[in-house]
Structure 1
Amino acid sequence: MSIRNRVMAGEQVLGAMIFEFFSPGIPQLLCNAGCEYVLYDMEHTGIGLETLKTQVAHCRGLPITPMARVPRGEYHFLARALDIGMRGVMIPMVDDGAEAARIVEATRYPPVGRRGAAFGFPHDNYSGGDPKDKIAAANASVTVIAQIETERGLENVDAIAATEGIDVLWVGHFDLANFLGVPGEFQNPVYLDAVRNVVEAARRHGKGLGFMPADTDWAREYKGYGFNMLAVGTDHGLFAKGVGSVLQAVEEA
C-alpha cells in the first residue's frame, strides 16, 4: 500500500524533513533511523530542481519515499518536482478550496487533473510500458500535502480538506502562530484551538494529518492530537543539538 493510502487510512508514517544536508548518504542514514519518507525543502533553503533530482537518485533502491516542499502551489513547481521523481509534494500556505483544486489539477494526470505527460523519465524510472497504467499508478500514489498555516487557510480548512486529491493537512506551526497573532506561543489557546480545527477537518474528510516535531516532546504531543504523518526536523537543528550535548558533557566532565 502506498504512503498516500496508508496516511489517509490513519496509519502512522514517519519520516524526516531536510533543509541543509543534501549529501548522498542522507537517505540511507534516514532508512537506518526508521524513516519511510524524506521531505526536501525548497521553500526556505534556496535549493532548486537540479539539486532535488540528484536527491531522488540517492533514494533509488532504498525503502524510502522522496517528497518535496515546493515554494508555492504553482504548476511549474508541482509538476516538475513530480517529473524529476518526487513521489509527493507539500504546498505551503494553502488558503482556500479554489487553490486546493488548482494544486490537484497540477499534480494529477487527466481525467483527474491536467498534469502534462512525459513518460520514460525519472518519475517512472526511465522505463517503458503502457501510459494508461502509468497514469493510473501515479494518480493513485502521489501524495499531495496542503499546509494549513495562515488565518485564511484555517478559515477555509473544511473546503481544503473536502477537495478530492488533497491527501494530507499539515500544520505549519510557526507561520500559523504568526498569522494568528501569537508568534512562538504554541501553548496559547488561540493556536491550540486552530490545531483542533485542522484535526477535526481532516477527520471529517478522511485525510491524513502532518506535523514536523523538533523533539520527542513535540512528537508525543502531536501524535496525541491525532497527527499520523510526522517528519522529524530540522536536520541542522538536530545536528547542532547533538554536537552541543557532546561538547557540554565534555565541559562538565
Structure 2
Amino acid sequence: MKNALKEKLARGEKPLGTFVSTGSAAVVECLGCTGLDFVILDNEHSPIEAETTATLVRAAECRGLTPLARVREISRPAILKLLDVGVQGLIIPDVRGVEDARRIICYAKYAPLGQRGFCPSRKDAWGTADLGPVPQAMSYFNSQTLLIPQCETAEALAEIEAITALPGVDGIFIGPFDLSISLGIPGEFENPAFRAALERILAACRRAGKPCLIFAGDGTAAAHRFSQGFDAVAMGQDATLLISGVRQQIAACRG
C-alpha cells in the first residue's frame, strides 16, 4: 500500500506517466508493461467515473503502476469517492486560488489537516488492512495520498506561493494548455510570459520543498520538461499513445 510514486520523487528520480481516458483496464495493464511509473485516471476530460476508476486502479496495481486520478470538479463527493476506491493521489483541476486549495485539503485529508470522512472501503481492504487504530490509519493515508492541485489558471498562478506553502498540498501539476489560455497566449509555450509563469511555479515548489509535475505531449517534449527541472511528467494519454504507436508501425510497413 506504500505510494511508490511518492518514494521515487523523494529519491530524486524522474517518474514518467500518462493520462488514461479510454476506461480500459486492459490498456492500463498494457501501460504497466512499458516501464511507466504512474497513470492518471482522468475523471475530468473523459467519461470515466468512480466505479470505472476502481477497476482501473486494480489494473494499475497488478502491474506496479501508481494509480492517480484527476477529479471531475472540486467537490466533496468527487474527491472522496476516488480516494475510497484506492487512488494514491489526486490531480485537482480548475483551482482558482488559495481558498480553493484549502477546500481541497478539507475534503481530501483526514483531521487534523482536513475533514475527510472516514469509512472502511477498498482503500483499506474494507477495514481489514493492518493499519492500527483509527488515528493511526488516518495519519497513514494523510502521508501516503498525494494531493496535487493543478496550476492552470491565472488566478492560481497569482497565488501559487501561498498554495504551495499550505500543509496538505503535496505538489503542483501544471496544465500548460489551459494555463496559456488563461494567460491570453493560447499554445504559445515559448512566449516569455508563459516561460516566466513556469519558472515562478517551479520556484514556489522548490521553496516549499514539494514536487512540480507537468503535462507533455510526447517523449521529446517530456525530456525537455525534465531538462527544465520538473520532477515528474505525464506524457500524453493512452488514446494518443495508441494512435501514435500504430501510425509508426504503418509508416514502417509502407515506407
TM-score, length of structure 1 as denominator length:
0.92
Distance (whole Å) between structure 2 residues aligned to residue 85 and residue 93 of structure 1: 23
Distance (whole Å) between structure 2 residues aligned to residue 30 and residue 244 of structure 1: 18
1:83 aligns with 2:84: yes
1:54 maps to: 55
Contact persistence 1:7–1:207 (CA under 8 A): no
Contact persistence 2:20–2:28 (CA under 8 A): no
Of 206, 210, 213, 1:207 maps to 210
Shift of 1:14: 2.2
Shift of 1:240: 1.4
Gap runs ≥5 in structure 2: none
1:125 maps to: 125
Counterpart of 1:45, as a letter, is S
CA deviation profile, 1:36-82 (whole Å, cap 9, x unmatched)? 22111011112211111211222344422211100222211111110
Counterpart of 2:213, as a letter, is G
Equivalent pairs: percent with the same residue? Answer: 31
Distance (whole Å) between structure 1 residues aligned to residue 125 and residue 35 of structure 2: 24
Change (3 A) 1:81 1:245: same
Shift of 1:6: 4.3
1:248 aligns with 2:251: yes
Contact persistence 2:40–2:70 (CA under 8 A): yes
Shift of 1:5: 5.2
2:93 maps to: 92
Counterpart of 2:102, as a letter, is A
Distance (whole Å) between structure 1 residues aligned to residue 65 and residue 245 of structure 2: 24
2:103 maps to: 102
Number of residue pairs matched by the alignment: 250
1:175 aligns with 2:175: no
Distance (whole Å) between structure 1 residues aligned to residue 18 and residue 223 of structure 2: 16
SS at match of 1:80: helix
Distance (whole Å) between structure 2 residues aligned to residue 6 and residue 94 of structure 1: 26
Shift of 1:131: 2.1
SS at match of 2:222: helix
CA deviation profile, 1:5-56 (whole Å, cap 9, x unmatched)? 5436644222221112x22223332222112221110111122111112112
Counting only pairs closer than 5 Å after superposition, residues 223-238 of structure 1 correspond to structure 2 as 223-238=226-241
1:26 maps to: 27
1:164 maps to: 167
SS at match of 1:233: strand
Change (3 A) 1:14 1:239: same
Contact persistence 1:199–1:225 (CA under 8 A): no
1:13 aligns with 2:21: no
- Superposed CA RMSD: 1.8
Greater Cα offset, 125-134 or 93-102: 125-134
SS at match of 2:19: strand
TM-score, length of structure 2 as denominator length:
0.91
1:72 maps to: 73
Q: Which has the higher contact order (CA 8 A, sep 6+)?
A: 1
Q: 4+ runs of 1 displaced by more than 6 Å?
A: none
Distance (whole Å) between structure 1 residues aligned to residue 48 and residue 194 of structure 2: 31
Gap runs ≥5 in structure 1: none
2:224 maps to: 221
1:186 maps to: 189
2:114 maps to: 113
Greater Cα offset, 102-111 or 8-17: 8-17
Contact persistence 1:10–1:208 (CA under 8 A): no
Distance (whole Å) between structure 2 residues aligned to residue 81 and residue 245 of structure 1: 35
2:158 maps to: 155
